[in-house]
Structure 1
Amino acid sequence: MTPHPGRRRALRTCAAALLIAAAAGCGISTTGPVRAGAPASGIPQPGTETSSVRVYFTDPYGVRAVTRPTDAPLDPQHALDLLLKGPTPTERDRGLTTQVPPAINRLTATTTTGTVDISIPLQAAAGDIEFATVSQIVCTAAHARVPGGRPAAQVHIRIRGIDFGPEEPWTLRCGPNNTATSVK
């Protein structure tokens, strides 16, 4: 059985188009390198890294991490001290704020392997503290340098000073989307 003459013409046209496409390559010209501006930046060259710490603030969409450069890795106490100072002017210009109330003017953090104990010097009922406040504190402490080298999501944060009833201290982790997650 012989193909219809119109079909033969279509097959030839298709074959010719494929040959032309194959001969053209993938569009890479034969020119050499072209100057296109400064070299890529943003990732430090090996051996030139400085330390950084993550501090968690809020915006209309939730709790957000801010990475700040430091001279050395910071422990949870120093990271929480930065949190209490609030966002920098540049961070505020980006819409970041804090939900940590001014009454919480000091947080005390002590660390052991994989655990951070935080004392809040404010005897408040759990309903008086915003969830975003707890998430800011928990995630900032969890992402600091904690003995034991656990990933931040596995660091236990035990909070004292908020009346959680018989569950004091409240044990949390920094969970998905920068939210405090209870550890059972």
Structure 2
Amino acid sequence: MTGVRGPAVTLSALLLLSACGVPAQDEPHPVVLPRQPLNATASAATAEPAGEVAQVLCLTRDERLVETVRRSGVPLRPQRQLDLLVTGPTPAEQAQGLSTALAATALTVTVPAGGATAAVEIGAPEEGAGRVVEALAYGQIVCTLTARTDIAAVTFLRNGQPLQVPDGDGAVTGGPLTAADYRSLIDPP
């Protein structure tokens, strides 16, 4: 009986290993991986200098949203990123035709502990600001904050009350917004 036992144990082991739930395939197939956030840890092939963190800011050019990357020694807090949006483009970014629709706008962001939806308190809009400029301004905020790994959506407040804002198609909403809501305004990379 011991002569039959060895092959039986081997056969049983092979059957158990092959029954892991993954079907066999005759040919390889492509795997589509999700887009990795720009501020995620870089692989050795695309290693950044030690201590540098990529920070995405969404600026504007020709009534379109344009993602730009700035580097810093440490990850920026969400409030600091909004302050940079209000300050506007650097001289090098201005030379590329980039600007901001948020000049002189008062912004305060809060993200509840353990939450992924940021609430942005926004001051009154400039007099005569059109719907496109307004959508660009809100789009800049949403696209910048949701490019972070810790923020998935953004809501807006004025004087502590929920604010109805335009999305990229001009529809007005008071719900949480993501970069996908401004897809029509974002220039392709």
Shorter-normalised TM range:
0.5 to 0.7
Partner residue, 2:68:
66
- The Cα of 1:43 is off from its aligned counterpart by 3.5
Report the AA paired with residue 43 of structure 1: T
More strand by share: 1
| Alignment CA distance shift 1:48-1:124 (3 Å) | closer
Report the AA paired with residue 134 of structure 2: E
Match of 1:52 among 47, 51, 54: 54
Partner residue, 1:25:
none
TM-score when normalising by structure 1: 0.58
- The Cα of 1:140 is off from its aligned counterpart by 1.1
Is the 8 Å Cα contact of residues 54 and 66 (structure 1) preserved in structure 2? yes
Q: Deviations over 1:45-64 (max 9, x none)?
A: 6x835112101111126100
Partner residue, 2:17:
none
TM-score when normalising by structure 2: 0.56
Structure 1 unmatched ranges of 5 or more: 1-41, 147-151
Partner residue, 1:43:
46
Which one is further off, 55-64 or 125-134?
A: 125-134
Partner residue, 2:122:
120
Q: Compute the RMSD of aligned alpha carbons.
A: 3.3
Report the AA paired with residue 98 of structure 2: L
Q: Equivalents in 2 of 1:75, 1:144: separation in Å? A: 10
Which one is further off, 155-164 or 93-102?
A: 155-164
Q: Equivalents in 2 of 1:107, 1:158: separation in Å? A: 12
| Alignment CA distance shift 1:164-1:61 (3 Å) | closer
Report the AA paired with residue 164 of structure 1: Q
1:142 aligns with 2:146: yes
Report the AA paired with residue 121 of structure 2: S
Q: Deviations over 1:70-114 (max 9, x none)?
A: 111122111111111100000000010111243x1x211011321
Structure 2 unmatched ranges of 5 or more: 1-44, 166-171
Larger-gyration structure (1/2):
1
Is the 8 Å Cα contact of residues 52 and 72 (structure 2) preserved in structure 1? yes
Partner residue, 1:132:
136
Partner residue, 1:108:
108
Q: Equivalents in 2 of 1:65, 1:73: separation in Å? A: 17
